[in-house]
Amino acid sequence: MKRLLLAILFLPALAVGGLLALNNPEPLPPASDSARRLADGPLPIARLPLELADRSRPTDANGDFPGSPVRQLKGHLWYPAEGGPYPLLVYSHGFTSDHRNGAYLAEHLASHGFVVAAVNHPLTHWGAPGGPRVADVVNQPGDMSFLIDRLLARSADAGDVLAAAIDGGRIGALGVSLGGLTATLAGFHPTFGDPRIDAVLSIAGPSSFFTSRFFAGDETAFLMLAARADVLVPWEANARPIPAKVPGGELVTLARGSHTGFAGGTRWLRWMNNPDALGCWAVKRNIENGEEEDWGQLLGTEAQGIDLSAAVDLCAVDPLPPAMNVLRQQALTRLVARAFFERSLAVLPATRAAADRFLGETLPAELPELSYAIRP
């Protein structure tokens, strides 16, 4: 009887393990630079809980949530457990997502010499009080700046566990989907932006409403990583124009990538034809007609480089195109993120040069499902 009970208890775990063992992606080409660079770095990493309250800014009322006089930011910091100072990267999650979906990037980047902070934004994460609200994205660049302030202060405190861990002269921002838009606003917006940010990686971030004026005169490094099979933030309107809009702007495209596949939690969905089926369901059920209808007006004016006449075709494709395995997509995302931030923020010129060659030449040569574009 005891053996029978043990078997019954272990059957669900075995079933889950079996599902996870199915549909693993093809490995990267053996002995390739891509396979070598995908390996975790030599640095041991530590994870530190973050629970901060920005008392200088309120959280708006939302649905049945009456609002709050502060913005609560809870998440984690991943950092090399020895040495320093290292560049600081601030990660922003997508709509109806949370900071844990960026852990696969944070862990990899930390092992290669980056400090990575990620928190849940108060009103756009999955469990937001009153339900996730897109319009709060205009407050999220301020969350990034607040994080930068707090972490630089801790690095300057000789008695803190993060003492001398962060180089305040090397700061980057990245995010997925609405988080990609947040990172772009934090890097370039004339009023929301933070001049301390040197490099921005937007992963499938909405950008169709940005004109070239929005990016003009700003030397912040910018790369868009986008997916050709993305049905939530379509590639044609949001990603393809980037090299023409942004001085020095770069675009890396995954030919069969999905939008939802950039989120770490989707590793469970690798058996799906296209995980955007779930992504569309999650986003659509949390956008109320009317309340979110005019949120784009909050982004800025035409004089600031905002063109709200651009059409937004959210989940308009049916049937969904087949997408690449999400584990493959996330492996490629690690490669692109590390190369971009090493090229932009590394101290040694040789490290920057090697990352530049890998990103623009080696990576697309070794992996045909990926392409690279920059303004000639």
Instruction: Report pLDDT digits (tens) over 282-331.
Output: 887 877 543 555 678 899 999 999 998 876 778 888 888 889 999 999 99
Give a yes or no: residue 221 inside a domain: yes
For 110-165, how does the pLDDT look when each residue is reduced to its tens digit (9 = 90+)?
999 999 999 999 999 999 999 999 999 999 999 999 999 999 999 999 999 999 99
Please check whether residue 14 lies inside any domain of the structure.
Answer: no
228 falls within a domain: yes
Domain housing 359: 34-374
Confidence (pTM)? 0.93
In-domain check, residue 21: no
User: Is residue 355 included in any domain, yes or no?
Assistant: yes
User: Is 27 within the bounds of a domain?
Assistant: no
Q: What is the pLDDT of residues 70-120, one digit of tens each?
A: 999 999 999 999 999 999 999 999 999 999 999 999 999 999 999 999 999
26 is a domain residue = no
Q: What is the 3-state secondary structure (H, E, C) of the chain?
A: CHHHHHHHHHHHHHHHHHHHHCCCCCCCCCCCHHHHHHCCCCCCEEEEEEEEEECCCCECCECCECCECCEEEEEEEEEECCCCCEEEEEEECCCCECHHHHHHHHHHHHHCCCEEEEEECCCCECCCCCCCCHHHHHHHHHHHHHHHHHHHHHHCCCCCCCCCCEEEEEEEEEEECHHHHHHHHHHHCCCCCCCCCCEEEEECCCCCCECHHHHCCCCCEEEEEEECCCCCCCHHHHCCCHHHHCCCCEEEEECCCCCHHHCHHHHHHCCCCCCHHHHHHHHHCCCCCCCCCCHHHHHCCHHHCECCCCCCCCCCCCCCCCCCCHHHHHHHHHHHHHHHHHHHHCCCHHHHHHHHHHHHHHHHHHCCCEEEEECC
Q: Is residue 253 one of the residues assigned to a domain?
A: yes
CATH number, domain of 313, equals: 3.40.50.1820
Number of separate domains in the chain: 1
